[in-house]
Amino acid sequence: MPNKPLAAFLCTTLGAGLAAGATAGPLETEAGAMTAEPVVEGLQMPWAFGFLPDGTVLVTEKNGRLLAVRDGERQEIGGLPKVRDEAQGGLLDLLVPRDFAEDRLLYMTYSKRQGFRGSGTAVYRARLSEDGTRLEDGETIFEIARGSGGGYHFGSRLVEAPDGALFVTIGDRGEGDLAQDLSMHNGSVLRITPDGAAPEGNPFAGQDGALAEIWSYGHRNPQGAALDLNGDLWAVEHGAQGGDEVNRIEPGTNYGWPVISYGKNYDGTPIGEGTEAEGMAQPVHYWDPSIAPSGMTFYDGSVEDWQGNAFISSLKYNYISRLAGEPLAEVERLENDDTIRVRDVRQGPDGALWFLSEGNGTLYRVTAATGG
């Protein structure tokens, strides 16, 4: 549940940080009328955001900038790694661990140059300086086994597991067949330690020809991932032409790409063997046509009607999907002029739903229309 002192801090300090002339847009939902309050505007290709215990909001921009917003003022944080900003690659996800207050460590994913022309998804760990202006003692703790010359399908969400391990989503890097190859990290969800190693209990550890970091495989491009209220891991991934999937992630499971899919190739030809194959998991939910899903969160905040629901952002159709029920299925679309190419969606420590619009270059906070 929300941290009440921090919630009050956020409501006060971030409200003061609205840009001059910024207004809260109306957002009609089945839970009642809401408003989307602009908190930070003028962002350049924002990709992810997170919250520090003191109420500071951090935002990554794909071009390699990390911004801190405090008391309505924004500041660029120094000390980031050299990021290869190309196509879908760049500075991507951000994770503020639960124990940040103890050691001030942050984790980020980014596209790292590998070899002469290649690049791959990497995880960077660094300590935020006491004055909050710089990253210190930074190091790349993990990078995928081999990059690709294409600038596509980096995946790149970070989730902290209940035991402190890190889940990292990796796209197939445009080489679909590698998502079925356990000797490659492409097209997989990884589980690593905070130091970047493979922890005990990973399903393929000790198996000849398999990489020990792999937790699940057969994914195309998972750009959203989150724990539900029971602590179970879920991911949402881009299909091709149709076939975007929501999957409950189980260790050692093959999710089928590119052998099975509910989508088609962009030239209209079938993908693989169809929609089912022995030994390959079915999605819990899928979209056809594709919505280009990105961020994902499970809600336990201040709106009672949303308890336990999943929220997934759409880049293509400019809305936030609300999923509920057993199995999870889309039950509502939250959309207005603010939800343009929503890249990330998270619940804030104040109990509100927050989202990051790449199209508007703005971070928003959703509250009841009567205040909150």
Give the Cα separation of 224 and 170 in Å (integer): 11
Residue 119: both structure tokens together = 């690049």
Q: Which of 225, 127, 212, 125 is nearest to 171 (CA)?
A: 225
Q: Which of 153, 185, 219, 238 is catalytic?
A: 153
* CA–CA gap between residue 110 and residue 107 (Å, rounded): 10
Q: Is residue 66 within 8 Å of 76, Cβ to Cβ?
A: yes
Catalytic annotation present for 238: no
Which residues form the catalytic set? 153
